[in-house]
Amino acid sequence: MSNVLVLVDHTGGKVRKTTAELLTIARRLGEPVAVFIGDNVQDALPALGQYGATKVIALTDPELTQYLVAPKAEALQQVAAKIEPSAILISSNSEGKEIAARLAVKLDSGLITDAVDVQEGPVTTQSVFAGNYSVQAKVTHGTPIITVKPNAATPEAAETSPEVEEFDVTISDGAKTARITDSKPREATGRPELTEAAIIVSGGRGTGGDFSPIEAFADSLGAAVGASRAAVDSGWYPHAYQVGQTGKTVSPQLYIAAGISGAIQHRAGMQTSKTIVAINKDEEAPIFELVDFGVVGDLHKVLPATTEEVTKR
Ligand code: FAD
């Protein structure tokens, strides 16, 4: 069986859910080999083994994490030269996409970004024009390099005990062009990560800038908070929480949109949620075309009342 490289997406060894999704997809294509960059590989091992990594290649050279992106692409090129994978899967975040693009040039290979599904072949599905079209594509030259959006697959466990192989890489001076001078985690909110949450409560322009009922309701449910672009552009909530075409793609079990009209660009980021609930004071709002449950009402009344009810239970 051919090897499929998966670049591990992690923070200090804590593996993100997107990696479990990539490993699940990789098992459809061949034997998943995880590439871990950083020095906490032991912390990542249980999660990588849980989702079927057959081997973990550890790249611990500190220069890989001291500089932006370019050294990582060089390192992956060297790993690919040794492993000769049949495909390379990378998470579709800003760093992942830049690594993938650089790697595609280095390997003279085809690149597909933002796949929402990958099946045997590998044949990818991309969702384009704000979710109005879905495009199937296949790399026809070199090693397929595919960046995969969060929630493209449901992580399926397949217990393995992967061995760790340390791999030495050589980083050229040309790759050391942008040094990281500082890096700090975003202030912890105590809420789940937006793309990993089972429940999301999102607020839009209808909040009028007051996200406290959204946050209180989210906290009563153990949910993450999201926002529409109108709310983000108004400076009411940080961009990191924007859901939609130019924000995050989410696919939780339950998505609650409060004071959000349901513009196509917002739908593009949340329409695959399993259950959708909307609270909107305009019964004609387009979001109601999409929902499983709708509440016509003022979110400033509906949400506090619901939060109180949930908290009582
Ligand atoms: P509005 O459309 O103004 O809707 C507000 C809603 O709140 C209304 O339906 C109103 O009835 C309701 N409301 C008002 N007061 C209350 C109340 N008290 N209680 C309950 N309901 C109330 N948008 C995104 O969200 N994400 C994206 O990633 C994104 N990317 C974009 C990319 C491009 C290229 C473009 C052109 C646009 C993009 N947009 C995106 C913007 C998108 O087109 C909409 O403008 C935006 O989603 C509207 O946000 P909203 O629903 O919060 O605001």
DSSP labels, 95-116: HHHHHHHHHHHHHT--EEEEEE
Is residue 151 within 8 A of residue 125, CB to CB? The reply is no
Q: What pLDDT score was predicted for residue 195? A: 87
Distance (angstroms) between ligand 1 centre and the Cα of 261 equals 5
Best residue among 127, 195, 212, 265 to mutate for probing ligand 1, ranked by most atoms within 8 Å of CB: 265
Beta carbon of 43 within 6 Å of any ligand 1 atom: no
Q: Alpha-carbon distance 294 to 296, whole Å?
A: 6
Strands 3-7 vs 87-91: parallel, antiparallel or unpaired: parallel
Q: Decide whether any atom of ligand 1 lies within 6 Å of the 259 Cβ.
A: yes
First to last CA, the chain: 52
269 Cβ inside 6 Å of ligand 1: yes
> What does the pLDDT average to over 156-166?
96
Rounded mean pLDDT of 39-68? Answer: 96
247 lines ligand 1 (CB under 6 A): yes
Is the C-beta atom of 266 inside 6 A of ligand 1?
A: yes
For residue 199, the model assigns a pLDDT of 97
Chain-centre distance of CA 143, in angstroms?
A: 23
Residue 71 C-alpha to ligand 1 middle, in angstroms?
Answer: 39
What average pLDDT score do residues 90-109 get? 96
The model's pTM is 0.86
Is pLDDT of 186 > 80? no
Reported confidence tier of residue 196, pLDDT bands at 50, 70, 90: confident
Tell me the pLDDT band of 54, cut-offs 50, 70 and 90: very high
Nearest to 102 by CA among 69, 55, 135: 69
With CA atoms as reference, report the closest residue to 177 among 102, 67, 92: 67
